[in-house]
């Protein structure tokens, strides 16, 4: 499992604006992806990072969160 705090740091401080995040790498139960996404978006909002667009692709094995942000 990857560290959620590392993802947050990358979203806030890196130069990237496009992300394809495999939620299954950060949480055990992929069907609770909504809580994970909401937590990350709340941290981004507090850090003055805007979500320009997003989509969530769900299948039986994983959840991919496609995200475009502006800092």
**Total count of domains within the chain:** 1
Residue 37 falls within a domain, yes or no? yes
Residue 9 falls within a domain, yes or no? yes
Domain hosting 11: range is: 4-54
Residue 64 falls within a domain, yes or no? no
Residue 60 falls within a domain, yes or no? no
Q: What is the mean pLDDT of each run of 10 residues along the chain (71 residues)?
A: 94 96 94 95 96 95 95 88
Residue 20 falls within a domain, yes or no? yes
What's residue 60's pLDDT? 87
Residue 13 falls within a domain, yes or no? yes
Q: Do 11 and 19 contact (CB within 8 A), yes or no?
A: yes
- How many CB atoms neighbour CB 26 within 10 A? 19
Q: Could you give the maximum distance between any two Cα atoms of the chain, in Å?
A: 34
Residue 42 falls within a domain, yes or no? yes
Residue 36 falls within a domain, yes or no? yes
Q: Which of 48, 35, 12 is nearest to 65 (CA)?
A: 35
Q: Are strands 18-22 and 50-58 parallel, antiparallel or unpaired?
A: unpaired
């Amino acid at each position: 499992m990857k560290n959620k705090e590392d993802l947050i740091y990358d979203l806030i401080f890196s130069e990237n604006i496009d992300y394809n995040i495999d939620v299954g790498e950060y949480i055990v139960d992929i069907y609770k992806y909504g809580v994970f996404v909401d937590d990350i978006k709340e941290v981004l909002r507090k850090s003055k990072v805007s979500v320009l667009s997003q989509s969530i692709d769900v299948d039986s094995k994983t959840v991919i969160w496609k995200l475009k942000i502006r800092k």
